A and B are shown apart, each in its own frame.
Chain A
Amino acid sequence: MNLQPVTMHLTDLSLFSQGILVSAALVLFTSFVMLAQARIQPLIYTFAWQGVLLSVTTALVALVSGHTHLYISALLTFVLKALLIPWMLYRLVQRLHIQQDVEIVSHPSLTLLGGAVLVVFCYYVALPVAQLSTLVTRNTIAVSMAIVLLGMLLMITRRTAVAQVIGFMSIENGLFFAAVASTYGMPMIVELGIAFDVLVAAVLFGVFFFQIRTSIDSLDVDRLNRLSEREE
Chain B
Amino acid sequence: MNPLYLVLGLPLGGGLVLALVRSHRIAGLINVAVSTATCGASVWLALNVLGTGPELSPDKLFYIDAFNVYLVALTAFVGMTTAIFSRPYMQHEVERGRVGSQRMRLYHSMYQGFLFAMLLALTTNNMGVLWVAMEAATLTTVLLVSLYRTPESVEAAWKYFILCGVGIAQALFGTVLLYFAAERRLGAKRNDSLLWSVLHTHAAQLDPAVLAIAFVFLLVGYGTKVGLVPLHNWLPDAHSEGPTPMSAVLSGLLLNVALYALVRVKMLVDGSLHTALAGHLMMGFGLLSFLVAGLFLHRQHDIKRMYSYSSIEHMGLTTFAFGIGGALATFAALLHMTVHSLTKSAIFVTVGHAAQLAGTQRIEHIRGLIRTQPAVGWGLLAGSLAIAGFPPFGVFMSEFLVLNATMKSWPWLTVPLLLGLAIAFAGLFRHLHPMIYGTPPVGQTRVKANMLPVMVHLALVLWLGLSIPLFLAHWFEQATQLISGSLPV
Contacts and interface: CB of A to CB of B under 8 A. Distances in A.
B182 to A, nearest CB: 9
Given A132-B210, A164-B162, A227 B241 contact: yes
Q: Which 5 A-B pairs have the closest CB atoms?
A: A190-B128, A193-B132, A224-B155, A215-B151, A215-B154
B143 A187 contact: no
B213 A129 contact: yes
Interface in B211-262: 213, 236-237, 241
A96 interface: no
A6 interface: no
Contacts of A190: 126, 128-129, 131-132, 194
A128 B176 CA distance: 15
Contacts of B142: 204
B139 A204 contact: yes
Contact of A148 (B132, B169, B184): B169
13 contacts: A148-B173, A175-B176, A179-B179, A201-B161, A204-B142, A204-B143, A211-B149, A211-B154, A221-B158, A227-B152, A227-B155, A227-B156, A229-B300
A155 B165 CA distance: 12
Q: Is the interface of B mostly helix, strand, loop or mixed?
A: helix
Contact of B180 (A183, A187, A215, A227): A183
A172 B131 CA distance: 13
Interface in B177-198: 177, 179-180, 183-184, 188, 191, 194
Contact of A182 (B150, B169, B172, B176): B176
Nearest to B182: A183
Interface string A201-231: 1001101100110111000010011110101
B390 to A, nearest CB: 27
Interface in B305-347: none
A186 B128 contact: yes
B158 A229 contact: no
A212 B158 contact: yes
Given A132-B184, A197-B139, A187 B191 contact: yes
A212 B166 contact: no
B96 interface: no
A216 B166 CA distance: 23
Given A193-B132, A221-B158, A186 B176 contact: yes
A179 B194 CA distance: 12
B61 to A, nearest CB: 8
A132 B301 contact: no
B136 interface: yes
Given A178-B176, A187-B126, A190-B126, A171 B157 contact: no
A140 to B, nearest CB: 12
A205 B146 CA distance: 13
B158 A208 contact: yes
Given A179-B176, A190-B194, A229 B139 contact: no
Contact of A226 (B151, B169, B213): B151
A152 B61 CA distance: 33
A86 B453 CA distance: 46
B135 interface: yes
Contacts of B161: 201, 204-205, 208
A182 B172 CA distance: 13
A52 to B, nearest CB: 21
Interface in B80-115: none
A227 B237 contact: yes
B202 interface: no
A190 B133 CA distance: 10
Interface of A: 1, 125, 128-129, 132-133, 145, 148, 152, 155, 161, 164, 168, 171-172, 175, 178-179, 182-184, 186-187, 189-190, 193-194, 196-197, 200-201, 204-205, 207-208, 211-212, 214-216, 221, 224-227, 229, 231
Contacts of A125: 213
B429 interface: no
Given A132-B207, A190-B126, A183 B172 contact: no
Contacts of B1: none
Interface centre among B132, B172, B191 (most CB of A within 10 A): B172
B446 interface: no
Interface in B269-307: 296, 299-301
B143 A207 contact: yes
B162 A168 contact: yes
A189 B176 contact: no
A175 B173 contact: yes
Contact of B128 (A128, A152, A161, A187): A187
A172 B184 CA distance: 24
Nearest to B237: A227
Contacts of A204: 139, 142-143, 161
B114 to A, nearest CB: 13
B489 interface: no
Contacts of A211: 146, 149, 154, 157
A197 B158 contact: no
Nearest to A230: B299
Contact of B169 (A128, A172, A187, A229): A172
B159 interface: yes
B166 A171 contact: yes
Given A182-B180, A183-B176, A226-B152, A168 B194 contact: no
A193 B176 contact: no
Contacts of A205: 161
B136 A226 contact: no
B209 interface: yes
A189 B129 contact: yes
A145 B324 CA distance: 31
